[in-house]
């Protein structure tokens, strides 16, 4: 293989890299030094199976681990630059950090403040809240293809929709250019403080979770903008099915917010996924709504994997 400047670790356990703290090892973990190093790594072995991992905030790695090389971007990809109302952020920059730095510069990207994860992942899933989505603010996405070529995509190339976007297979987002509305820094900071207080009052922010477990079953347009008056929210139909606080082993649907899967201490990935599948089944039986996973589940099952 071409000489690389990043760090390659064979048979790397991933549990400590995910917010739920579950999962087996990857065949390898590669942490590239920068974009050029990442491109060289991808070109060196085109047949290598890869999985791009952010900060593990929206992820269940199954107990048997991942039969692939996990690529995890770090310090070489977390810079944030601001020019007027334009913000260029590395894919590894945390959503919350981007929101705070933008607000201090008088740029309104405040909706990102309470979204767990990194900017690259936010683009991939068209993350959003409070009626704003990445689709509203993305101006350009820089990525490296599976063949190691640099590519820049405009918003119309990404086909943004609710919790989804289209990216070339195997591509790795390296940076994103955003544009927010101008605003008074003090006003923007106050808004984020209010948002954090609301989040902490309604969500299990002190527990081991992966954010919202299921997508809202209805009430969203194809562009990903929410109809906030729609009653079919995932938490509501889970609650209606009597599953708030439901448990399987050490996995639990949060009593505080029933659309959050919680690892209460010693849960396995199989217990978490199995509980989620049980919730999907019972919600459909009770309400007729089909829930779809928002949390990404990947890897090889352990011995007690739920039946499909």
Catalytic residues: 163, 212, 294
Q: Of 37, 69, 78, 73, which Cα lies nearest the Cα of 56?
A: 73
Rounded distance between C-alpha atoms, residue 85 and residue 24, angstroms: 42
Place of tokens 């997508």: 215
Instruction: List, in sequence order, the alpha helices (H) in the chain.
Output: 35-44, 95-104, 119-124, 134-137, 155-158, 185-202, 234-240, 269-287
Task: For residue 199, give both structure tokens.
Answer: 């989040």
83 has which bridge partners?
86
φ, ψ of residue 185 in degrees (nearest 5):
-55, -45
Cα angle vertex 64, ends 59, 69, to 5°?
65
């Amino acid at each position: 293989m071409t000489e690389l400047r990043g760090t390659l670790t064979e048979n790397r356990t991933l549990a400590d890299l995910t917010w739920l703290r579950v999962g087996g090892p990857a065949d390898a973990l590669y942490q590239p030094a920068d974009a050029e190093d990442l491109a060289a790594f991808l070109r060196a072995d085109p047949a290598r199976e890869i999985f791009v991992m952010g900060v593990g905030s929206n992820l269940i790695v199954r107990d048997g681990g991942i039969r692939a090389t996990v690529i995890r971007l770090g310090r070489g990809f977390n810079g944030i630059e601001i020019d007027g109302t334009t913000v260029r952020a590395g894919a590894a920059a945390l959503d919350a950090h981007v929101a705070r730095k933008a607000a201090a510069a008088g740029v309104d990207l405040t909706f990102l403040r309470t979204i767990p994860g990194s900017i690259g992942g936010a683009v991939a899933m068209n993350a959003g809240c409070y009626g704003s989505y990445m689709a509203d603010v993305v101006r350009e996405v820089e990525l490296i293809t599976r063949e190691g070529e640099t590519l820049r995509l405009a918003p119309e190339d990404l086909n943004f929709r609710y919790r989804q976007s289209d990216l070339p297979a195997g591509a790795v987002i390296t940076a994103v250019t955003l544009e927010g509305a101008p605003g008074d820094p003090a006003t923007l900071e106050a808004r984020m403080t209010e948002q954090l207080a609301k989040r902490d009052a309604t969500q299990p922010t002190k527990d081991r979770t992966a954010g919202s477990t299921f997508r809202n079953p209805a009430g969203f347009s194809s562009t990903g903008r929410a109809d906030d008056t729609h009653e079919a929210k995932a938490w509501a139909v889970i609650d209606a099915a009597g599953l708030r606080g439901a448990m399987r082993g050490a996995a639990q649907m949060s009593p505080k917010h029933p659309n959050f899967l919680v690892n209460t201490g010693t849960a396995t990935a199989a217990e978490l996924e199995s509980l989620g599948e049980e919730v999907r089944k019972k919600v459909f039986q009770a309400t007729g709504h089909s829930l779809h996973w928002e949390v990404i589940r990947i890897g090889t099952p352990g011995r007690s994997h739920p039946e499909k």
